[in-house]
Chain A
Amino acid sequence: MNKSYIFIGISFVLLAIVQFLVVPFIQIYSVYPKIILLPVVYFSLSQGQFRGTIAGFIFGLIYDLLSGDIWGINAVSLTVAGFFAGYFFDESVTDPFYYFRKFLIILFFTTLIETLINSLSSFEGLDLSFIAFLLIQSILPALYTSFIAVPLAFFRKEMKIS
């Protein structure tokens, strides 16, 4: 099996545990980062849209099992996240962290879409306007996730021409 698959898989399980056990305690006014999106976005950017979509589904399903959340809810949102991030796949870029600002922007918009889809099922019955819902549930977590991802810039590798 490709080593990078194993690496991404292990990273996901570790980050899922951190998301599940640690992240709830670093939330700021109920806004928390969605760090499980990091391996999904990384995988999609390094392996392409097709594989990224499949990885999103598998990772989402694993996270549903881990977290006790409704089965399928994270599977759907992470599938869409993998698909979206895969749009920006560039075969000539061997390390998605190389253009780090681009990575952060893709991560921000992927988180925005993922968190929105993830929480849409709860929107019914709320008295919130859609703008307020978008801000609270998507924009702020997306900003927080991008902020948390900044230290990953130190893991940039030298670019290989492929």
Chain B
Amino acid sequence: MNKFLRYLYPYKEYLLLIFLVTLGLFLQVINERQGSSKARAAAFGSVVTAYTVIESITGLLPENEEIENLRIQNARLNLELNMLRELSDENTSLRSLLSLRDTIQYPFVAASIISKLSGRIRGYYIINKGEQDGIFTGMPVINESGLIGVVSIVAGNFATVRTLRNPKLRIAVKNQRSGIGGILEWDGIRLIIKNIPTNYDFQAGDRVVTSEFSTLVPPSIPVGVAAEKEEKISGILSNIHVIPFANFDKARNLFVLKVTSDKEAEQMIQQAGNQPL
């Protein structure tokens, strides 16, 4: 045994590396389990609670009810303005207007970004509102310009938001002018709507909003503007590049819409998918 250990001793750094990396990978694997998700939320919550103590001492981000109310009012007015602009632009297509639900009726919770775990690849924000403010996983998050993302983890007073700049978030959107729909996703550099047939009416400059088919977010929330139509090699399909209205780098104040994803619709879609044709 001693001989064996003596043989391994010169490689102790490598063995340690293999052991610790395996341990880290194991932690990642168990990460998504129900129990560990709760533990994660609890750990995250306690850490960020400590942050509020620091925040209250330093007073870096003073909060009061009046400021919060003004922010909510500001967001409502901006969404209303968006809606009015859309109505003005789209007044000829009454049919699509009739199907619009009034987004501004949803209750808001104003929140501030505490931290951004956002590179070009993994886009998350941490906000200072959580379960105690009536926030749950799946609620859409906007700012005054448009859609930001959806809530992914919720702790007592804090939550993480998976932004549109996260490749794991895919949202059903549509062209507000022509009504053509698609799935919006982040490719690491740009937001794109993939595989739109080239002959479909989707032009640069068209406004892109959330679709009625989305089970994650309510319809008609402004998302961005179509910037470019890129034909694929086959020429049959195109990718549409979308420039978001929201500035993800500069965002500080957000609003959580207190609506949860349509779980019944999700279940129906899943059931339909499981049934044989």
Q: Which residues of A contact B (CB under 8 A)?
A: 17, 20-21, 24-25, 27, 29-32, 49-50, 53-54, 56-57, 60-61, 64-73, 75-76, 79-80, 83, 86, 119, 121-123, 125-128, 132-133, 136-137, 141
Contacts and interface: CB of A to CB of B under 8 A. Distances in A.
B48 interface: yes
B277 interface: no
B7 interface: no
11 contacts: A21-B51, A27-B116, A27-B118, A27-B249, A54-B20, A65-B47, A68-B40, A71-B40, A123-B121, A126-B188, A128-B187
Contacts of A86: 13
A6 B111 CA distance: 36
B180 interface: no
B17 interface: yes
A73 B160 CA distance: 17
Contacts of A30: 118-120, 165, 248-249
B118 A50 contact: no
Interface SS, B side: mixed
Contacts of A141: 119
A79 B21 contact: yes
B122 A122 contact: yes
B167 interface: yes
A119 B119 contact: yes
A123 B168 CA distance: 11
B189 interface: yes
B8 interface: no
B153 interface: yes
Nearest to A62: B47
Interface string B188-199: 110010000000
Given A50-B12, A65-B43, A136 B24 contact: no
Interface stretch (B25-33, B89-97, B135-143): B25-33
Interface in B45-64: 47-48, 51, 54
A24 B160 CA distance: 14
Contacts of B158: 68
A1 B106 CA distance: 56
Given A83-B17, A132-B189, A67 B115 contact: yes
B40 A31 contact: no
User: Could you say which of B27, B48, B120 has the most chain A C-beta atoms within 10 Å of its C-beta?
Assistant: B120
Query: Top 4 nearest A-B pairs by Cβ distance?
Result: A72-B27, A76-B24, A24-B116, A127-B187
B117 interface: yes
Contacts of B121: 119, 122-123, 126, 133, 136-137
Contact of B44 (A29, A68, A121, A123): A68
A31 B27 CA distance: 27
Given A75-B27, A76-B24, A76-B28, A69 B117 contact: yes
A118 B54 CA distance: 29
A136 B189 contact: yes
